[in-house]
Amino acid sequence: MDVRNEDEEMVHQGEIRMQMNSAYAHDRDRIDISSQDPTSGSENVEYYGLGVLLHPFTSVPPVPPLESLECVYNEEAIMLQKLIFRAFKMCTNKNKLKFEEFKINSRLYGNGFMDAHEYLDALAADIGSIETLVLSPCMLRLQPDRMKKQTLWLALRAYRATHLHAMEAQIQ
């Protein structure tokens, strides 16, 4: 089964997993996450907040309210998942090993074999702390299970609070 079919199967099963791991990408402009697919225009990138990854950070992004992260389905979920995958690849300079680890960790979290805090730590280790704050809310829109969604959202808020000073120092 190729990656595309596997991704579509995940969407149809409603079990899209959060996926990420380690290393801060210093070359953000290397991959344009909005230019590789006509269905992922810049308005979609900006709508989901992924456009922030294309520019240097000026502040630590806030965690959006849980109510604003409504779950998406069908074609919109497929499109958002593709954007998330592109953003992850951009943040890791297309590191295939990290991408595969991200997918595995997402499945582990989704199936209850990984704690939300462990998942976010692994994600931040692969893409960076600030990038995790940008990408995780998008991933939450793919999580149909309210309990898992809320658990990861609370872990994301805790992650931001505990790492805020380090992220602010990283920006300056």
Determine the pLDDT at residue 135.
Answer: 96
Alpha helix segments (H runs only) across 24-128: 42-48, 74-91, 96-110, 116-127
Report d(CA 134, CA 120) in Å as an integer.
12
Predicted confidence band at 44 (pLDDT cuts at 50, 70, 90)? low
Element (H, E) at 143: none
Over residues 133-145, the pLDDT tens digits come to 999 999 999 999 9
Report d(CA 115, CA 76) in Å as an integer.
27
CB-based contacts of 41, cutoff 8 Å, min separation 6: 34
Contact 115/44 with Cβ under 8 angstroms? no
Quote the strand ranges of the chain, DSSP E.
none
Domain residue extents for the chain: 30-57+65-171
CB-based contacts of 148, cutoff 8 Å, min separation 6: 109, 110, 116
Q: What 3-state class would DSSP assign to 22? A: strand
Over residues 92-143, the pLDDT tens digits come to 999 999 999 999 999 999 999 999 999 999 999 999 999 999 999 999 999 9
Report d(CA 47, CA 111) in Å as an integer.
29
Rounded to 5°, the CA angle 125-128-133 comes to 115
pTM of the model: 0.73
